[in-house]
Structure 1
Amino acid sequence: MGWKRVALIVLAAVGLSGCQALQKVDQGLYQVAESVSERDRVTGQRTLSMADRSAQIANGNAYIEQLIAAEKKAGRPVNAAVDKQQYQRLVRVFDRVHQISHLKDERWQPLLIRRDSFNAFTTGGTYIVVHSELMDTLKDDAELAAVIGHEIAHTVANHVYERQTHAQVSALAGSNSVSRSGYQAAFTHESEREADRIGILYSALSGYDPMAASRIWQRKYTAEGNARALFHHDHPVNAERYQEAQAVGQKVMPYYQKNRINPNAQALLDNNVLWRKNNAEAAAGEGGGVSALLTTALGAYVQHQGAKQEELRQRQQAHFVKSVEAGLKLESSRKASAQKLETRWRYAVRGPVLKNLVMGLYFKRDNKVERYVDHVPGYIKPGQVFAARFELPQGVTVDDLQRYDARFYLDDVEPAR
């Protein structure tokens, strides 16, 4: 009920301002709106943020500068010292994507650090940090461009400070949702989806194949599955991510000119197949205060409801996966070869017909958890027996699995509609 109360207060202010026509009241309301919101660079709508751009840059860059200092103190290389060719490649791809972004007038710096993880991130300032394993994994420049566009988009859409301000305002509004880890994950999940969409548009406008993002997540899904059965997730799972990236890529494909920045890029940032930017806002004292506060409150309420719906969707999916997993019975397992394990399972409960079932195998080796999956083709009916086969990595044989305390799990499944 918290966000509804906020909206009602704003609506009351609208009535007061309209009745009394007080210019100063409207100016005051505009100042209030400015203190807790900003105009979204993508859509033009008001979004929550208690930090202006200068504060965002100062705070975000301070964190990265501490990271750089820590890397140097520990004797770890950065940028060209990590890998000269990969750093030059990173700068080259970054420059082209940044050139058509909403923040093209800011001076940004890509930072390459040595990490054995597939990751890149921004902190709301003017740095983008990329891990060396991601550079080594993504051989295609278009795929690297998709990741870079996604990270720039997080700052463009102000996701870091939007999330912080939303949490603070939600607490003041009496909402209990923000205290739930599932809600927090769902809120971030929706920000990740938005960053994906913006990043794919950036790819197309900067002359990189907009279908590249979908290829990244399709490979991830094939190799890793979704791994979402037992917990809330703050990123779209691999299958959802590649499907949505594919759909967005197809939509923006007409803007793609191979290896060439679209000459209409700046106009297309405001008006494209994904959104149409609203640049109209009344001035303070002329209804702008009422409008800014109202759109801020209502926009935050819609965002709040969207996160709650995503939280519920994730909870329902996790419950369904757990219920199916409880009904799966291991019928047999055999060593098909030294590094191939074949298992047979029975779907031993009354329930819906299943599809897109992914079985997983995990174990811990060298203090690192390793997961391997098998995608089971076709539909599975109650009582049906199906096979799941696992190809093990180099250095691990089927005979080793008991020593590694290997365990099976249901990675993901859907009811056949």
Structure 2
Amino acid sequence: MRRTALVALLAAGTALSACAYNETLGRNQFLLVNDSALTQQADAAWAEALRTQRISSDAAANARVRRVGDRIVQAAGLSDRRWEYAVFVSDSPNAFVLPSGKIGVTTGLLSLVRNDDQLAAVLGHEVGHTVAQHAAERYSQTAATNLGLGVLQGAAGDYAQAAGAIGGLGAQLGVLLPFSRRHELEADRLGVDYLQRAGYRPSEAIALWRLMAQQRQGSNPEFASTHPSDASRIAALEQYIQSQGWA
């Protein structure tokens, strides 16, 4: 019990020392690491994607992603780093931005979006994750949760396996998944800021998510999903855009 209490105190002390205020988000963040600490892993993931996935040789598609991406990156204040772009051949509409300065877009997404404004909405959202240090925050949150579950299992004796399973589910539904939904909504808001600043139409962010909702084939209920429901996301975007006078 003394050991358990000591570990708990150390975990609490670590949590307190890792809190920092993020002016962009207007809230405190729990960060055991920062994005620079994740650069090596991000670069390795990028190299693996380039090695294992089919890359589009469509010059027009690649130029389009770079053109829109460069405008969003500049609007987000991240033009001080070297950015790399790639278009991956996949029917699934998707995009991602790595903290080390890598942007990937699928051909499925380029086929889905109806204009550059909607592409800018996607890239703005993904760049928003980088500016907000969501990857580092997610990593830190997961690490702290795993530490807490280790303490729980250590104190549970013969019931450690059951406690771990129940605790893991509780932590996932009660902490990690809702936290990820918060990240998504924050990235939506930042993405709209960047696309507006870059000269694109904020209203197209709403049109984009309506398109995404139409093509989605079933989804988990919001309480058990890492992403907000399409309805929640669209409502939040409509409210934010109207509050900024951009409607």
Confirm or deny a common fold (TM above 0.5): yes
Q: Which has the higher contact order (CA 8 A, sep 6+)?
A: 2
Q: How far apart, CA to CA, are the structure 1 residues paired with 2:209 and 2:49?
A: 28
What letter corresponds to residue 59 of structure 2 in structure 1?
A: K
Deviations 1:89-111 (A, max 9, x none): 11111111110114332222222
Assess if the C-alpha contact under 8 Å between 1:167 and 1:178 holds in 2: no
Change (3 A) 1:137 1:232: same
TM-score (norm 1): 0.47
Structure 2 residue 120 is matched with structure 1 residue 145:
yes
Change (3 A) 1:230 1:205: closer
Percent identity, please: 27
In structure 1, list runs of 5 or more residues that go unmatched: 11-28, 257-417
Assess if the C-alpha contact under 8 Å between 2:25 and 2:132 holds in 1: no
SS in 2 for 1:116: coil
The answer for the alignment partner of 1:197 in structure 2 is: 189
Q: How far apart, CA to CA, are the structure 1 residues paired with 2:167 and 2:101?
A: 28
Change (3 A) 1:242 1:45: closer
Assess if the C-alpha contact under 8 Å between 2:68 and 2:119 holds in 1: yes
Structure 2 residue 206 is matched with structure 1 residue 228:
no
Assess if the C-alpha contact under 8 Å between 1:185 and 1:233 holds in 2: yes
The answer for the alignment partner of 2:47 in structure 1 is: 65
Q: How far apart, CA to CA, are the structure 2 residues paired with 1:178 and 1:40?
A: 30
What letter corresponds to residue 77 of structure 1 in structure 2?
A: I
Change (3 A) 1:230 1:54: closer
What letter corresponds to residue 90 of structure 1 in structure 2?
A: V
The answer for the alignment partner of 2:168 in structure 1 is: 179
Assess if the C-alpha contact under 8 Å between 1:226 and 1:239 holds in 2: no
TM-score (norm 2): 0.77
Deviation at 1:59, TM superposition (A): 2.0
Q: How far apart, CA to CA, are the structure 2 residues paired with 1:53 and 1:41?
A: 16
C-alpha RMSD of matched pairs (Å): 3.0
The answer for the alignment partner of 1:360 in structure 2 is: none
The answer for the alignment partner of 2:24 in structure 1 is: 42
Q: How far apart, CA to CA, are the structure 2 residues paired with 1:205 and 1:230?
A: 31
Which of residues 142, 150, 158 in structure 1 aligns to 2:133? 158
Q: How far apart, CA to CA, are the structure 1 residues paired with 2:215 and 2:223?
A: 20
Count residues in correspondence.
221
Deviation at 1:170, TM superposition (A): 3.1
User: More helix by proportion, 1 or 2?
Assistant: 2
The answer for the alignment partner of 1:103 in structure 2 is: 78
Q: How far apart, CA to CA, are the structure 1 residues paired with 2:78 and 2:20?
A: 15
The answer for the alignment partner of 1:131 in structure 2 is: 106
Q: How far apart, CA to CA, are the structure 1 residues paired with 2:139 and 2:167?
A: 11
In structure 2, list runs of 5 or more residues that go unmatched: 153-163
Which of residues 193, 201, 209 in structure 2 aligns to 1:209? 201
SS in 2 for 1:125: coil
| Equivalence map 1:253-332=2 (5 Å) | 253-254=245-246
Assess if the C-alpha contact under 8 Å between 1:146 and 1:203 holds in 2: yes
Deviation at 1:46, TM superposition (A): 4.1
Which structure has the greater CA radius of gyration? 1
The answer for the alignment partner of 1:218 in structure 2 is: 210
Structure 2 residue 231 is matched with structure 1 residue 247:
no
SS in 2 for 1:245: helix
Assess if the C-alpha contact under 8 Å between 1:48 and 1:166 holds in 2: yes
Assess if the C-alpha contact under 8 Å between 1:204 and 1:253 holds in 2: no
Deviations 1:308-355 (A, max 9, x none): xxxxxxxxxxxxxxxxxxxxxxxxxxxxxxxxxxxxxxxxxxxxxxxx
Point out the more displaced range, 85-94 or 215-224. Answer: 215-224
User: More strand by proportion, 1 or 2?
Assistant: 1
Deviation at 1:253, TM superposition (A): 4.1
Structure 2 residue 135 is matched with structure 1 residue 169:
no
Runs of 4+ that moved beyond 4 A = 173-178, 222-226
SS in 2 for 1:122: strand
Q: How far apart, CA to CA, are the structure 2 residues paired with 1:178 and 1:208?
A: 45
Change (3 A) 1:103 1:215: same
Change (3 A) 1:196 1:141: same
Q: How far apart, CA to CA, are the structure 1 residues paired with 2:22 and 2:85?
A: 24
Deviation at 1:149, TM superposition (A): 0.4
